[in-house]
A and B are shown apart, each in its own frame.
Chain A
Amino acid sequence: MKKNKRKNAVSNEEKPKDFKVAIQKLLKYNKSYVSLIIIALILSMISSILAIIGPDKLKDMTNVITKGLLTGIDTDKIKSIGIVLICFYAASLIFNYIQGLIMAIVTNKFSKNMRREISIKINKLPLAYFDKTTIGDILSRVTNDVDTIGQTLNDSIGSLVSSITMFLGSLFMMFYTNWILAITAIVSTIIGFVLMATILSRSQKYFSNLQKEIGNMNGHIEEVYSGHNVVKVYNAKKEVDEEFDLINERLFINGKKSQFYSGLMPPLMGFIGNFGYVAVCVVGALLTMNNVISFGVIVAFMIYIRLFSQPLTNIAQCLNELQSTAAASERVFEFLEAPEMADESNKKIILNKASVKGNIEFKNIKFGYTKDKEIIKGFSSKIKAGEKVAIVGPTGAGKTTIVNLLMRFYEIDSGDILIDGISTKELTRDNIHNLFTMVLQDTWLFEGSIKENIRYNQDSVTDDEIINACKVVGLDHFIRTLPKGYDTILNDVDSLSAGQKQLLTIARCMVLNTPFLILDEATSNVDTRTEILVQEAMDKLTKGRTSFIIAHRLSTIKNADLILVLKDGNIIEQGNHKTLLEKNGFYAELYNSQFENACE
């Protein structure tokens, strides 16, 4: 019984760009397991050799039986052959199993390492990398691609080696025994394989079409299901149905054809075997009659032809499978080899959280997410310690970008940001992050208890501090009504509203104690009345700290010391609420548009 798990191998139409390079990298990556893999390979070679000799022994047994059929069989001889065979089977069982175990261990460790490296890599990549990729794409590398590599390596390496051994072994045995029969066997097998290859190459296009249509179908369904309300109210059922039916029909046709073609493999293989069998028998009989060979040769050949054609199929399947291994490892390595953030171990200056005064200066900053489009065009501003700075402006003006640069999530193209007169370029990113607390518009919580979510990575925070923070944001009562209080696990189906989630992230920031504070649309998910509560809490928090506030609702920033009005990447106005209103410029227009009368 050979491994038959690979029925769908053909359906994998993923093709690597450079097969050789990918496999080489993979082998290099596997370096630490080389000795284990070699042991496994040797074991599988031995058991293949046993598989080649085994039938030979069984043939001997048949010969002994036929010879003594009428005169009495030599049972001692049978016994000795039988015992040898039992040893063979036992050895092959043990070797095969050990080989399987080794490969399972190696591939699992290997997959685990690979996943770990991807996870670590995520936190070493510059944020700019994630602008270009989707979450789904990275996720599929961590799971699907690594799984594919592990699975196919597990299946194919062992089977490739044993198949090659068996193939070469039987080839050798065949030519050793009789070259005419050997050629007969090879020719008849090759005819069969040419047939199979033609069919397979013709079927390739259905497989790739199938993948494409599956993608189309998923896309269409996702769109229609998530836009269900719109489809309904716009009476668009018929319209989306038509599209669905088209894709469904194409999916049906391609699915049917690819299923059909991949199902052809096993019966075709069977037929090739039978065909070779008859060819060998006929040619063999001809030779026997002319007394060129003995009958035993034919019996041996009948077995060799199977041993010969089966590994060929296996090798073909393995190579096919290795194609998808290569494609998957290419994707993983592409990720692992992406350029990381600059190394900062040589930076010596460290700003201490406790002793930082809190002055910040932006000096003629220029920045663009892509080279061809500048977002921030020469931004300069001086902020004194303890000031409350608001950044306002229409969407797309670059407000969040300023925060991204301040936190050094992105590196500025030119210009400089100074903290207490020290260029942030001289500091490590970790050091900068230590000085800031930030609350973002998108609430981010992870699956863990409420307590863990608030304490997040700050071991020094006590339970009391956590409870206090929750009291300040007005969540304490609510949390206590939950069945497990502060130990309640937050997950996807929890009962927290968007506003409550935001309050939790605000509480998380409150337990930190940093000289700088960034609030990027921090209260946009909280309704305006709760916002007042939070605002009060935040005001307490911002006291004595330099804080940056980005807000849609202009009311929240009226008492800021400095308002920076951003438009198209430039500061077009700055000052406090009063002076800006008096100026009657863009800010005044923005502010008043809140009250404008839409009806004439």
Chain B
Amino acid sequence: MFKLAKKLTKKDVLFFLFSIVFIVLNVWLELKIPDYMSEITVLVQTEGSLMSDILKEGIFMLLCALGSLATAVVVGYLAAHIGSSYAKTLRKSIFNKVGEFSAAEIKSFSTSSLITRTTNDIRQVRMFIVMGIQMLIKAPIMAIIALSKIANKGIEFSIITAVGVVIVLILITILIIVVLPKFKIIQTLTDNLNRITRENLTGIRVVRAYNAEEYQNARFEKANSELTETNLFTQKAMAIMSPVMSTIMSSVSLAIYWVGTYLINEAAMLDKIEIFSNMVVFSSYAIQVIMSFMMLVILFIIYPRASVSAKRINEVLETEPMIKDGQIASDTTKLKGVVEFKNVSFKYPDAEDYILKDISFKANQGETVAFIGTTGSGKSTLINLIPRFYDATDGEVLIDGVNVREMNLEYLNNKIGYVSQKAILFKGSIKENISFGVSKKGKPALKKIKEAIKIAQGEDFVLNMPEKYNSEIAQSGTNISGGQKQRLSIARAIAREPEIYIFDDAFSALDYKTDYNLRKELNKYTKDATKFIVAQRIGTIKDADKIVVLDSGKCVGIGTHEELLKNCRVYQEIVSSQFGKEAI
């Protein structure tokens, strides 16, 4: 929590100091009001007081009330500003940090966790700050000022108030001990319930096919009961809080009056009036003292949640991305699109086993290099080393003779047109999606965009959409089909006119015919670019200049389709699995 305080801007800190001043003022004015109240009471009670006196005191009291309102408004404004501005800064910091992350960090946090950290966790911290400013500062100030007003006004009264405070503290402590751990359990149980419902929904066909409705309902009911029981327990426990609080407050007043009666009766004549006025003052301030202690304790209840959130935010902010930017930002040779892997091995930072082991090959300008192998053989990981989603653990990846690690990332990215296995589109028009990002040649013109979509076999369906190239794509592209998404994401890569294309299993979502036509057009258009294709279907890669066959992270064959058919057993197996034995 405190580490995060560094993120406060100078203005926030200034506002924070201001708000302390205003809170002191506010509390002072607020506690002034009872004084005027008792003045007015005395005046009204005393026979023959002047109306003007009452009015005067009344106006003073109203002024105090107005002042306290005004200061409270100012404090409210300052708190709202600090909280929101702080949330804004934090959000930006996390967003930037995640932007710097490499795929490894994203994977280790998981996307959904990063999203929660950027949204929910920040909201928790913000809530704590807004409430904290108002309560954490206000409560002690209030307690101090109230205590100073009632100090030396009767030890008996003080003891009564102290007893009230102690009871409140004990009650809250017990509640915290009993209830707080349950709150954590409730979170897990709610997650459980959600999970079971989600499972039922995602597997709805399986559930129905197995006639397993009752089975699912029983699982749900179990989680439902557990959740309800725990919820009920905490709510029953918390239900005692408010009645006990109000009883304590009333009882303290009553006790002060009651005890006061005896004190007055026993006191000497002269002291009687003083004790009486002390008693009246005490009863109004004692409640303030108890209230301020309560506010503090409530903060302690909120604090753990905010602190957990702060910790989660810190984790993100303190993670150093593994990928470090390089220096080289301009061409050093005449080579274009020559990619070489030299004895490349890769494993995840904490993993024991290598995912890729000792891979070497070279792709010349304009060549197509394809990768094939079983799931988990390391195909995707291999080509992810080119745009530096990860860095090779051993060996080097060279583009035009330069190690990718030494290249400036923007410069490196400008060479690459990347299409992922799962098509990723963004909210915005089709045009905006195709011209996404920055490339060496700047934003593509509309003509270029149309051309790219045409090559990617997307023209038909785009022209069929109501707004054509200006049609809106919904968030994550949910309003078009998977195949259409994939064609647009391929078009996006084409529009960049890169030197190196990377297709990470990008053709699987297309049917054979579209796949075929697309590759035909693409080859015509991108003669000079080097292409890397990861694929499952032999048909997709058959004509590649080089096919790299991977098996458990090792390269078990490099060559053309015909060569591999002759001398690579794994390749033969893959081919026969797809076309039958006679194909070999």
Contact = CB atoms under 8 A, between A and B. Distances in A.
B44 A89 contact: no
A127 B101 CA distance: 41
B528 to A, nearest CB: 14
B194 A139 contact: yes
A214 B121 CA distance: 13
Nearest to B100: A237
A78 B198 CA distance: 64
B361 interface: no
A116 B220 contact: yes
A481 interface: no
A267 B410 CA distance: 54
Contacts of A444: 199, 202-203, 206
Nearest to A159: B242
A457 B210 contact: yes
Interface in B205-261: 205-213, 215-217, 219-221, 224-225, 227-228, 231-232, 235-236, 239-240, 242-247, 249-251, 253-254, 257-258, 260-261
Contacts of B216: 119, 123
B217 A119 contact: yes
User: Considering residues A122, A442, A498, which has the most beta carbons from chain B within 10 angstroms of its beta carbon?
Assistant: A122
Determine the main DSSP class of B at the interface with A: helix
B542 A593 contact: no
B194 A497 contact: no
A595 B416 CA distance: 28
Contacts of B195: 447
Given A1-B246, A89-B247, A122-B200, A73 B65 contact: no
Q: Which of B91, B225, B577 has the most CB of A within 10 A?
A: B577
Instruction: Tell which of A62, A90, A139, A229 has the most Cβ of chain B within 10 Å.
Output: A229
Contact of B243 (A96, A396, A595): A96
Given A65-B264, A429-B208, A528-B536, A256 B519 contact: no
B190 to A, nearest CB: 6
A284 B49 CA distance: 13
B432 to A, nearest CB: 9
A271 B66 contact: yes
Nearest to A252: B88
Interface stretch (B172-180, B328-336, B475-483): B475-483
A597 to B, nearest CB: 5
A325 interface: no
Given A112-B228, A233-B413, A135 B202 contact: yes
B242 A221 contact: no
Interface string A372-397: 00000000000000000000001110
Contact of B239 (A104, A223, A232, A268): A104
B124 interface: no
Interface string A84-116: 011001101100110011011101110110011
B463 interface: no
Nearest to A90: B247
A285 B387 contact: no
Interface string A226-242: 11111111111111110
Interface stretch (A243-251, A342-350, A412-420): A243-251
Contact of A594 (B476, B489, B538): B538
A238 B437 CA distance: 8
B418 interface: yes
B181 interface: no
Most buried by B among A69, A154, A285, A555: A285
Interface string B102-138: 0100100001001100110000001000100010000
Given A223-B427, A263-B80, A456 B264 contact: no
Contact of B209 (A93, A238, A271, A438): A438
Contact of A1 (B225, B249, B424, B510): B249
Nearest to B262: A75
A286 interface: yes
A70 B519 CA distance: 107
A190 interface: no
A457 B209 CA distance: 11
Interface residues of B, number: 158
A440 interface: yes
Contacts of A433: 208-211
B95 interface: yes
Interface string A338-382: 000000000000000000000000000000000000000000000
A364 B476 CA distance: 38
A278 B249 CA distance: 24
Given A82-B254, A267-B68, A446-B203, A259 B84 contact: yes
A486 interface: no
Contacts of A599: 523, 543
Contacts of B83: 255-256, 259
A112 B427 contact: no
A72 B88 CA distance: 65
Contacts of A595: 539, 542, 579
Interface in A249-299: 249, 251-253, 255-257, 259-260, 263-264, 266-268, 270-271, 274-275, 277-278, 281-282, 284-286, 288-289, 295, 298-299
Given A1-B246, A75-B262, A598 B516 contact: yes
A395 B251 contact: no
Contacts of B410: 235
B115 A222 contact: yes
Given A93-B244, A590-B513, A527 B69 contact: no
A70 B30 CA distance: 32
B254 A285 contact: no
B205 A285 contact: no
Given A267-B69, A530-B374, A119 B80 contact: no
B516 A596 contact: yes
Interface in B117-174: 118-119, 126, 130, 134
A65 B224 contact: no
B567 interface: no
Contact of B207 (A92, A123, A221, A238): A123
B426 A223 contact: yes
Contacts of A236: 436-438
A143 interface: yes
A240 B96 CA distance: 10
Interface string A186-223: 00000000000000000000000000001001111111
A436 interface: yes
B16 interface: no
Nearest to B375: A527
Interface in A541-600: 553, 555, 558, 589-590, 593-600
A49 interface: no
A270 B65 CA distance: 8
Contacts of B574: 528-529
Contacts of B208: 123, 127, 407, 409, 429, 433
A251 B95 contact: no
A474 interface: no
Contacts of B573: 528-529
Contacts of B194: 139, 142-143
Given A222-B476, A228-B106, A457 B212 contact: yes
28 contacts: A65-B260, A92-B246, A97-B240, A105-B236, A107-B235, A119-B216, A123-B207, A130-B204, A135-B198, A143-B193, A224-B99, A233-B387, A236-B436, A239-B438, A255-B80, A255-B84, A263-B76, A263-B79, A267-B73, A270-B30, A299-B41, A407-B205, A433-B211, A529-B374, A529-B574, A590-B512, A595-B542, A598-B520
Instruction: Give 10 closest A-B pairs by Cβ, nearest first.
Output: A234-B437, A100-B239, A236-B437, A267-B72, A96-B243, A527-B374, A528-B577, A263-B76, A444-B203, A457-B212
Given A96-B242, A240-B99, A593-B515, 20 more contacts: A78-B258, A96-B246, A97-B243, A108-B228, A111-B228, A112-B228, A116-B220, A225-B118, A226-B424, A233-B416, A233-B418, A249-B88, A260-B77, A271-B68, A285-B49, A288-B44, A409-B208, A457-B215, A558-B580, A596-B516
